[in-house]
Amino acid sequence: MQGSSRFRLLRLFSRKTPLHKDLRNLLGFEPGNISVYEMALSHRSGKGKTDDNNERLEYLGDAILGAIIGDFLFRKYPYRPEGYLTEMRSKIVNRQQLNDIAIKMGFRKLTIYDRYNSFLKVSQIFGNALEALVGAVYLDKGYRRTKRFVFRQIILPYIDLEILEGVEMNYKNKLYGWANKQGKHLEFELLEEQIEGGRRLFTVGAVINGKVLCSGKAYNKKDASQIAAQRAIEKLGIAEKPELPSGPV
């Protein structure tokens, strides 16, 4: 009896923590297993143990989110071909897109990470944490509640399908096309490779006529080169990046 009373007190206390209140506002429902949500918000740089982070939940959330978005688009566009649906899903779950959404949802404040690391502040760890949160909701509440969460808290306030239709996602190809028209030589070079939080961090430069115009950092070369290309496009004024709806923060 004494043990069960203590458990109820601990449970009551946990529901009064700032994290619990923030989660309830973010999720739109009462969270159950607080620990799984804390794990979802924990970047490897912010925890002492190397395995005490959100990477496994990110993997799970990525798969669940892809399935939910795929189902949503399939029902939304009953007469669109497979290629269109695949491209639109890629645009929605694009890393930069998810990172922008996560920041608007308040993940800068909620994510547990090394705040002294200046790179992490401008990296895509917030989008990764959003994917991990989707995985946490799935483990805590199941698929139906996760589907409702994604639709109400992500799709409705932050996804404008008409804008996304016109968004160019392959920045490298766009930059190559511009370079060919201008008669310029474009290449992407690996400028630096270092270890960051136990993982390899790549810096790739967009090099035009032998000069580095812009660079991008990521945990794989493909993402780093896309970031470099996107920054080069914005710097050259080739095309303005469409603004996503701000939605509630």
Q: In what order do the strands lie in the sheet with 186-196?
A: 186-196, 199-208, 211-218
Task: Decide if 62 is catalytic.
Answer: yes
Q: Which of 51, 52, 62, 100 is catalytic?
A: 62
The distance from CA 109 to its chain's CA centroid, rounded to whole angstroms, is 15
The distance from CA 156 to its chain's CA centroid, rounded to whole angstroms, is 17
Q: 102 near 96, Cβ under 8 Å?
A: no
Task: Decide if 114 is catalytic.
Answer: no
Direct distance between the N- and C-terminal alpha carbons of the chain, in angstroms, rounded to an integer: 43
Q: 113 near 129, Cβ under 8 Å?
A: no
Q: Which of 38, 131, 187, 223 is catalytic?
A: 131
Q: 70 near 84, Cβ under 8 Å?
A: no
Residues carrying an active site annotation: 62, 131
